[in-house]
Amino acid sequence: MDSFQNAPALQPRRRRNLRPLLAAILLSLTGGASAADEPPRFALSGFGTFGLTRSDKDNYRFHSSSTQPSTMPGQNFDPSTDSVLGVQGTARLSDKFDLTVQAVSRQAAGYDYTPHITWAYLHYRPTPALSLRAGRTTTPFFMFSDSLNVNYATPWLRPPAEVYSLNPFSDLDGVDAIYRAPLGQMDLEIQGLVGQSAVLTRSASGRLRNARALRVGLAGTGFSAQAGYTRTDLHLNWTDGFHQALRRQLIAAGEADAADELSGTHASAEFFSAGFQWEKNNWITIAEFAKRKVDRYISTAHGWYLTVGHRIDAFTPYVTYANQNQDTPAFCTPVPAIHAPLVGIYNNSRNTAQHTLAFGTRWDVARSIALKGQIERITPAPQSRGLFPSDTLADYLRPTTPVHVLSLSVDFVF
C-alpha cells in the first residue's frame, strides 16, 4: 500500500488533473494497491488541516457538522470547525491480506479531541477484481466519503455542508465487498456492505442498526460518477432542552404516545446520493445530490450543490452554490392546538435548511501543502437557523438573516 509520499500525483506546482491526486491518496487509504505494485510490508502516513472560521454575527456560529458544539461567539476566529489530524498505518500480511488502522483527532461533541479510530479493517483480495473487508470502514453515503477528513484531496476548503451535514454517521462496523472491472473506456466499481454505526452529536446520540448499502461508481479520463443507496434501522435519543420541554408538556397533557414519537428506537431511514466530477482543459465541475428519508424522530430533507473551478498554475479559484431543503419536519404526530407553539419551535430547531453562495481558492504552495480561503453568504430558510443551531429560545423567535462566513486553512499530507 502506497504512502502519501509515494503518490506521484502529489506534486502541486505541476498538478493538472485532480483525479490522479485524489486517486493516489485514496488508493493509499483504502488498500487498493495491487500485488504488482509491491507495497512495503508496513506503511505509515498522515494528513491534517489547521483552519480558522468566523462569521459576521456573534449569535451565528458556523457548524459543518452536528457533532460540533455551539457555544463560542460566531465573530471569534474558531479553529475547531475544520482542524483535524489523522495518522494511518497499514501492514501487508501477505499478497492477499493487509490490515489498516486509522486514527483521527478533531473536535467532537463535548469539546472532545480524543483520537477516534475511523478505520480498523482486515482487507482480503481473493482475486484482482474483488476486495473483501471486515471491521470498521467508511460509510459510503457521499461521493467524497473516503476523503472527508483528508481536505488536501479536495478542491474546497470543506465539502458543501448543505449535502454533507445530512448524515453525521462517518464510519461503519461490518463487512463489505468491492468489485472492480473495466467497462469500455471506464472503470466500474460496485460496493455492497452491511453493518452498524454510532454517533454522538451536540444534542443527541444515534445508532444505525442492520444498515445495508449499495454503491456503484464509474471513473474514466477526467470524469467520475457514483450513486449509492442505504437502508437502515435508526435509534435516536435527543438530549437538548427543546426536546425535554416538549416531552414534559406532552406527557403532562396525557399525550404519552405522541411523546414517544419524539425519539426512540423504532425509526427506519433511507439515504440516497448521486454525483459526478468532470475535468477538462483545467476546468473542474462537481455536482452532488443527497436525500435523507426518515419516518420519525428527525426531519426528511434533501440537498445539492454545484461547484465550478479553474486551475491557473498553482491556484484553483472556484465558486459553489449549495442548497438544502426540509421535506418533512421532525415531529409530525397530530396533537391538540395548545401544543402548536412549542411544537413549532421544536421543529424549527431541527430544521437545517439553508442556501449558500461561496467563493474560494486553493493555492498549492508546496509539495503536499495547500492553502485555502473561502467566503460564504449563507441564508437560512424561514423557520430555520440553518447550520447555526442555538440553545436559546429567543434566537428561534427572531427573523432569519443572511450570514457571511470567512474560512482559512492549511491542508497537508505526509
* Residue-averaged pLDDT of the chain: 89
SS3 388: coil
Q: Quick check: is 5 in a domain?
A: no
Percent helix, strand and coil across the chain, each to the nearest 5? 15, 50, 35
pTM of the model: 0.88
User: Mean pLDDT lowest for which of 19-28, 145-154, 308-317?
Assistant: 19-28
User: Is the pLDDT confidence value at 326 over 50?
Assistant: yes
User: Is the pLDDT confidence value at 31 over 70?
Assistant: no
Task: Read off the pLDDT of each residue in 355-380 and give the average, rounded to a whole number.
Answer: 97
If one counts the domains in the chain, the total is 1
Q: Quick check: is 150 in a domain?
A: yes
Task: Read off the pLDDT of each residue in 209-237 and give the average, rounded to a whole number.
Answer: 96
> What does the pLDDT read at residue 244?
95
State which residues form the domain around 347: 12-413
15 band by pLDDT with thresholds 50, 70 and 90: very low
Task: Read off the pLDDT of each residue in 138-167 and give the average, rounded to a whole number.
Answer: 93
User: Is the pLDDT confidence value at 16 over 80?
Assistant: no
> What does the pLDDT read at residue 271?
97
Task: Read off the pLDDT of each residue in 23-38 and give the average, rounded to a whole number.
Answer: 49
Q: Quick check: is 7 in a domain?
A: no
Q: Quick check: is 6 in a domain?
A: no
d(CA 199, CA 391): 20
d(CA 381, CA 71): 22
Q: Quick check: is 311 in a domain?
A: yes
Q: Are 352 and 316 in contact, with CB atoms under 8 Å apart?
A: no
Q: Quick check: is 1 in a domain?
A: no
Q: Quick check: is 4 in a domain?
A: no
Residue 129 belongs to domain with CATH number = 2.40.160.10
Better pLDDT: 109 or 62: 62
Task: Read off the pLDDT of each residue in 383-410 and give the average, rounded to a whole number.
Answer: 91
